[in-house]
Amino acid sequence: MGEKLAESLKLFLEKGKEWERRPTSVPGMFILKLPTYKRYPQRLCVEINPVDASGNPTKKRGLVVRNLLELKEFKNLLAEERLEKLMSSIDEINPPTAEKPKLKKKAEVIEI
């Protein structure tokens, strides 16, 4: 891990607010600060959340990945060819939705 990335992440873990979402240099990839919960201390995780034309997340909460093992499991599930078939069928039966573009607000970005 690069020194600059490690330093940015350490600073965010120390100074960030609970549940704060910080964008990264990769659109749709965010760093999320999780609060202390039972036996788990405060920690960072990655949130995968598609962005709109303005760079804002399209969902209230995206896919939260807490560690490398979870990432590998999600990758296997997303690579499953039947998932695409299922989503195609769902898209066919769901009514269309209209999306409203949102104004982009300037946010501090964590460079990856």
- Residues 23-77 pLDDT 10s: 999 999 999 999 999 898 999 999 999 999 888 899 999 999 999 999 999 999 9
Identify whether 110 is part of a domain.
no
Is there a domain that residue 107 lies in? Answer: no
Quick check: 80 pLDDT over 90? yes
Count other C-beta atoms under 10 Å from residue 42's C-beta.
Answer: 13
Q: Find the domain containing 20 and state its range.
A: 3-93
- Is residue 86, in this structure, part of any structural domain at all? yes
Residue with tokens 């195609």: 88
Within a domain: residue 16? Answer: yes
Could you give the percent of the chain with pLDDT greater than 70?
92
Q: Which residue has the higher pLDDT, 103 or 12?
A: 12
> What pTM value is reported for the model?
0.77
Question: Which has the higher per-residue pLDDT, 38 or 104?
Answer: 38
The per-residue pLDDT for 104 is 61
What total of structural domains would you count in the chain? 1
User: What is the per-residue pLDDT for 98?
Assistant: 74
For 59, counting Cβ atoms within 10 Å of its Cβ (0-12 exposed, 13-18 middle, 19+ buried), the class is: exposed
